Amino acid sequence: MVGVLDPVADRATAVTLERLDDQISWYNGKSAINRRWHYRLKVATLISAGVIPVTAAVGSPSYVAGTLGVFVVIVEGLQQLFQFHQNWVNYRGTCESLKHEKFLFLALAGAYANADHPQRLLAERIEGLLSTENTNWTADATRSQNKDDSRKP
């Protein structure tokens, strides 16, 4: 019936949009944190690596260049361990995909234009994106662990 409100559909839409907004916020925040850490560590590496030849040229004690070299290795190791760049890119991609779905849903465009139950389709597509991101994260973590295990004697 046209014009009759469906409280179940309205509640489903509200719950789905609440979940969507929560996930957009989470991925946006995590993306920003990982971006900041990536840039901080890269800048620290570049500055330290650039200062090493200067310390040698000005006749600084050898331990100064050695300490800076160790610092560069540690910072690069932290980048590899925590994967700040990869996390930033993945989280940003997921966040933008979620925003895209929200826009299409609110505009009743794309797949939502002819859907019998657009709120159901939105929920399925959101959970599909989140599931894919979770699966990729788990696979990356497992791959990383397997690489570490294969290096052990």
pLDDT for residue 65: 96
Question: Which one-letter amino acid corresponds to residue 7?
Answer: P
The rounded distance, in Å, linking the Cα atoms of 12 and 50 is 56
Q: Crossing angle for the helix pair 7-57 and 62-82, nearest 10 degrees? A: 160
Question: Using one digit for the tens of pLDDT, what is the confidence trace for 27-72?
Answer: 999 999 999 999 999 999 999 999 999 999 999 999 999 999 999 9
> Is 100 or 139 the better-scoring residue by pLDDT?
100
- Whether the model clears a pTM of 0.85, i.e. scores above it, the answer is no
Residue 146: band (very low, low, confident or very high) from pLDDT cuts 50, 70, 90? confident
CB 126 within 8 A of CB 98: yes
